Structure 1
């Protein structure tokens, strides 16, 4: 397989998913110290991205499971999760032993939370992927799908790498409980506003 065949999907993935690294780093920081959190975050990332690929591939073949008018409303997912995360950050310090309880129960983000944010944040990517997939044909789509799924693992590794750097980790440990809700709410609002949801 020539470098050009891999390079095009790799470039498309990088351009359309660069903001995911920050979100993943925040998720990994939130899950730090919780048993099994890395696996849950990676699973969630793959579930969300697989859903994006499935919708894009189906649309390239002419099936539309997700009307274009519905895409802006995907912003409600990260917005709601951001509000939930903010509520938990406000509430937990007031509960005795909240941190120990969370660790014992395998705290951190759930796969479905990560998947929802990944899918919502990549909802607008579907509009970019569909024409590319449609012109690539079945063989080309397979190459794109394989490269995208490999790079999803690279993105998870990069997010975990940044979250575990000593300077970054200290900052996220102090401010991550504030940053994660802010980032999720901002992503949600951006998707809603840019897509013109609710007449915004």
Structure 2
């Protein structure tokens, strides 16, 4: 396990998952004041990312559990969660921040996992050729580095969500921003992947 391989693994993870920090910060804002929210977000992030890595590793060995044609339809996961969050935000639009926070509840591990997996669906296509050419030892190094960096990403999302200025903004607007981000993410995945015959302009 050379430093070169470790550096490449860290770089690949960062490039393919930079947008996850924003989504994690939004989840942490949603979970502010809710017991167990940090654990649920961390568990969900690990579940979702482990599923991405498992599919990529299997595909690198020649097994295809997730056909390429199915990947764009993963966009339905964040799209559905975003619509649900949007409806909830609309119903409680006149509530105070405290009432809204109490009503919304914290994010569940499964919701975080679903968004993480859907958002990383395109990562699979990047990881497969890298894993396939790295050999078993190199692939193991990549997976270990990836799983360590998931914890760093979770910590970064929590850090940003708890900075006073950011926390204040997320507290005020997070209930609006989260569904918008999830719906936009879902739509992007669907359109970019050509799901339902959609094609990007």
What TM-score does the superposition give when structure 2 sets the normalisation length? Answer: 0.93
For residue 30 of structure 1, what is the aligned residue in structure 2?
30
- What is the rounded CA distance, in whole Å, between the counterparts of 1:69 and 1:176 in structure 2? 33
Q: Which residue of 2 aligns with 1:79?
A: 79
Residue 34 of structure 1 aligns to a residue in which SS?
A: coil
Residue in 2 that maps onto 1:121 = 119
Deviation, 1:181, is 0.2
Query: How big is the shift at 1:2?
Result: 3.4
- Structure 1: state its 5+ residue gaps: none
1:45-194 matches, within 5 Å, as 45-93=45-93, 98-99=99-100, 101-102=102-103, 107-194=105-192
CA-to-aligned-CA distance 1:89-133 (integer Å, 9 cap, x gap): 112356899547548xxx211000000000000000000000000
Deviations 1:135-169 (A, max 9, x none): 01111111111000000000000000000000000
The 1:100/1:82 distance shift into structure 2, 3 A limit, reads closer
Distance 1:172 1:80 in 2: 21
- Distance in 2, matches of 1:9 and 1:151, equals 10
**Which runs of at least 4 in structure 1 moved beyond 6 Å after TM superposition?**
94-97
**For residue 14 of structure 2, what is the aligned residue in structure 1?**
14
Contact 1:78 1:188 in 2 (8 A): yes
How many residue pairs are counted as aligned between the two chains?
A: 197
RMSD: 1.7
- Partner of 1:142: helix, strand, or coil? helix
Unaligned runs of 5+ in 2: none
Aligned equivalents of 1:101 and 1:73: distance in 2?
Answer: 32
Contact (CA 8 Å) 2:160, 2:166: kept in 1 or not?
Answer: yes
